[in-house]
Amino acid sequence: MDKLLIRGGGPLSGEIRVSGSKNAALPILAATLLSSEPVRVSNLPHLHDITTMIALLRSMGTELLVDEKLCVEINGATTKQTTAPYELVKTMRASILVLGPLLAHFGRARVSFPGGCAIGSRPVDQHLRGLEAMGAQIDVDEGYITATCPNGRLKGAHILFDMVTVGGTENVLMAACLAEGRTVLENAAREPEIIDLANCLIAMGAKISGHGSATITIDGVEKLGGCSYSVMPDRIEAGTYLVAAAATRGNIKLRDIDPNTLDAVLVKLEEAGAKIEHGEDWISLDMEGRRPKAVSFKTVPYPGFPTDMQAQFTAMNAVAEGVAKVSETIFENRLIQTHEMNRMGANISVDGNTALITGTERLKGAPVMASDLRASASLVIAGLVADGETLVDRIYHIDRGYECIEEKFLSLGADIRRVSS
Ligand code: UD1
């Protein structure tokens, strides 16, 4: 199993390009199942989760053509069977995103029930309720969700989500594109990845309005066609490098990023003392050698502070000046990385879903274990601000979400190396 060996040192400094967004790419790849013609998707990040989604499409017999830049042309109409097997779903919960498209296009779908994961139980009841409201019949048996369309085609419906769910909004939005009549989604997620998915569906011929707001209206069409679509930049990858630069008192310039998708993160970085500048597709951050100041926040759905950036900010707070209070409201078990940080000399106490972080000047290198994707990124940041060596174990988590992580950190001047045990 690979590990990352980091020797903490001076400030990060340099320029990197931000990769395509994993969380936008996954639903967009699933959405190609809705189309009756080939859809070409570009700017896909080369990550395990993307490979898993491609493997899942291939396992269903869907024809696809991959080129050396990881542009993928997918012909959803060639799909031969509509089962997403346990072996693939267990490695990636986002496999559930094929449920809505398969059901809407082919009238049936069988998807292994995704289990819980390190950060919480993560149910999919809102996905299923939304599809049922459109006339789907859903049975859960032997660990599989079986969905069928007794009336041949889904019917538009008025759906109010009980909570803001990104995946639930995406699944039902995709299904509604081929349903008969109008669907209105209320309390929909407003994340930029939802907007990117909707824009891709519109390029395929879907009729969607209101995406990016809490009410999305979809007028179903009989068929969707082909298109070429370039996935949006990854705001969480971008945020992770910005925080790494801030924690190390460094400076960084990010290219190919939409600064508008990072509002809450940039506000908090400025509060930490960073000087931030941005243009249409770039952001620069400069700490001018200063130690960051502690920043408190609560994770909430977009446009508030993202749960996917909580762990990285916790690492920065561990070496910041002052005391920060961080509350995690989206997932039940997402402060686990704090225990590993304490082993590196951090001073973090956790009470329920709130962490109280008292900053120390520097951490001490130690062997640590990654428990989930963003937690592993936070341990890398902790390693960068620690004296001595930090060995981050179980980095398969990090390979699910960060393209070329060693190369990007190396180009920023970090001392980081992948070692296999
Ligand atoms: C997506 C992101 C993930 C991010 C999360 C919240 C992808 C591939 N993943 O995950 O990186 O951390 O959004 O921004 O895009 N819930 C229910 N019932 C449901 C659905 C969700 O109770 O049917 C709960 C979840 O357990 C969680 C909360 O709602 O507590 C938010 O989950 P959701 O927004 O659905 O997250 P994902 O789509 O799984």
Instruction: Please count the CA atoms within 13 angstroms of the CA of 288 that sit on its side-chain side.
Output: 6
What is the per-residue pLDDT for 333? Answer: 84
Q: For the chain, give percent helix, strand, coil, nearest 5.
A: 35, 30, 35
How much is the pLDDT for 332?
Answer: 86
What is the rounded radius of gyration, in angstroms, for the C-alpha atoms of the chain? 21
308 close to ligand 1 (CB < 6 Angstrom): yes
- 123 CA to centre of ligand 1 in angstroms: 9
CA of 229 to the centre of ligand 1 (A): 24
pLDDT for the residue numbered 113: 87
- Per-residue model confidence as pLDDT tens for the chain (421 residues): 889 999 998 899 999 999 999 999 999 999 999 999 999 999 999 999 999 999 999 999 999 999 999 999 999 999 999 999 999 999 899 999 999 999 999 999 999 988 656 666 678 999 999 999 999 999 998 899 999 998 889 999 999 999 999 999 999 999 999 999 999 999 999 999 999 999 999 999 999 999 999 999 999 999 999 999 999 999 999 999 999 999 999 999 999 999 999 999 999 999 999 999 999 999 999 999 999 999 999 999 999 999 999 999 999 999 999 999 999 999 988 898 999 999 999 999 999 999 999 999 999 999 999 888 999 999 999 999 999 999 999 988 898 899 999 999 999 999 999 998 7
Measured between alpha carbons, how far is 419 from 3 in angstroms, rounded to an integer?
5
Q: Is 192 a pocket residue for ligand 1 (Cβ < 6 Å)?
A: no
The encoded tokens of residue 49 equal 């989760």
Supply the pLDDT for residue 121: 66
Torsion angle, CA of 396/402/404/409, rounded to 10 degrees? -110
Assess whether the C-beta atom of 165 lies below 6 angstroms from ligand 1.
yes
Distance CA 338, CA 344 (A): 10
DSSP letter for 293, please: B
Atom of ligand 1 nearest to the CA of 165: 34
End-to-end CA distance of the chain: 6
In this structure, which residue's CA is closest to atom 39 in ligand 1? 167
Query: In the prediction, which pLDDT does 412 show?
Result: 98
CA 166 to centroid of ligand 1, rounded, Å = 5
Q: What is the pLDDT of residue 124?
A: 93
Q: Is the CB of 123 under 6 A from ligand 1?
A: yes
Ligand 1 centroid vs 169 CA: distance in angstroms?
10
Q: Is 114 in the pocket of ligand 1 (CB under 6 A)?
A: no
Q: What are the catalytic residues? A: 117
* 315 CB within 6 A, ligand 1: no
CA distance 114 to 95: 8
Do 21 and 255 meet the contact criterion of CB atoms below 8 Å apart? no
**Ligand 1 geometric centre to CA of 11 (Å):** 34
* Best of 49, 56, 122 for a ligand 1 pocket test (most atoms within 8 Å of beta carbon): 122
